[in-house]
Amino acid sequence: MGLAHVEIQTFAGVNNLRGTLDALRGVEGFDQLVALGIVRDAEGDGAAALQSVRDALGATNFAVPTRGLERVGANPAVVVLINPHDEPNGRFEDVCIRSVADTEIMKCAAYVTCLKGLAQGKPAREWKTRVHAYIAAQDHPEVSLGVAGKYGYFPLDHAAFATVRRLFELLEGS
């Protein structure tokens, strides 16, 4: 998207968001932070995911949006995106798979459906298995999801990523 001055950090799991937000205030340069975006998967309950982010923001004295993709506050402004946006459940991997759902490679990902028939309860994280099956068919099959995005394995201009693009627009203030 041609964005400058953007830094992406992980909070390493939903249970660590509050501590990460607390620690953020102690990072050198925090006083220059213009906007803070928080992205979390809906998992099985998008409303509960949003509420947990709102609770963490409130407990750490950051501005608290009432809904996803709403910019609130200043210095820093805060924007939250629960993936997939406006859906009751899911995760970022689902967004990625939607962007390539019509490709020939994804037709081969029926492999995941086959696995489900072979081993009860397997794969445990079907969404991760699907996205990694897609990545495995690329030139660099060993890369993570983030690196796969950098390599262009997922078309970031696809409609599936519209809410992610909107998040960055809101963070820039537009």
Q: Same domain, yes or no, for 75 and 115?
A: no
Q: Is residue 66 part of a domain?
A: yes
Q: Structurally, how many domains does the chain consist of? A: 2
Q: Same domain, yes or no, for 78 and 96?
A: no
Q: Same domain, yes or no, for 63 and 108?
A: no
Q: Is residue 161 part of a domain?
A: no
3-state helix, strand, coil in the chain (%, to 5): 45, 10, 45
The tokens for 93 are: 């991997």
Q: How far apart are CA 56 and CA 59, in angstroms?
A: 5
Q: Same domain, yes or no, for 56 and 84?
A: yes
Q: Is residue 52 part of a domain?
A: yes
Q: Same domain, yes or no, for 52 and 22?
A: yes
Q: Is residue 73 part of a domain?
A: yes
Residues 6 or more apart whose CB falls under 8 angstroms from that of 90 comprise: 41, 42, 43, 46, 83, 84, 127
Domain of residue 143: give its range.
Answer: 92-150
Q: Same domain, yes or no, for 106 and 122?
A: yes
pLDDT for the residue numbered 87: 87
Query: Mind listing the pLDDT tens digit for each residue in 87-116?
Result: 889 999 999 999 999 999 988 877 777 777
Specify the pTM: 0.88
Query: Mind listing the pLDDT tens digit for each residue in 135-157?
Result: 999 999 999 998 999 899 999 99
Between these two residues, 125 and 143, which has the higher pLDDT value?
143
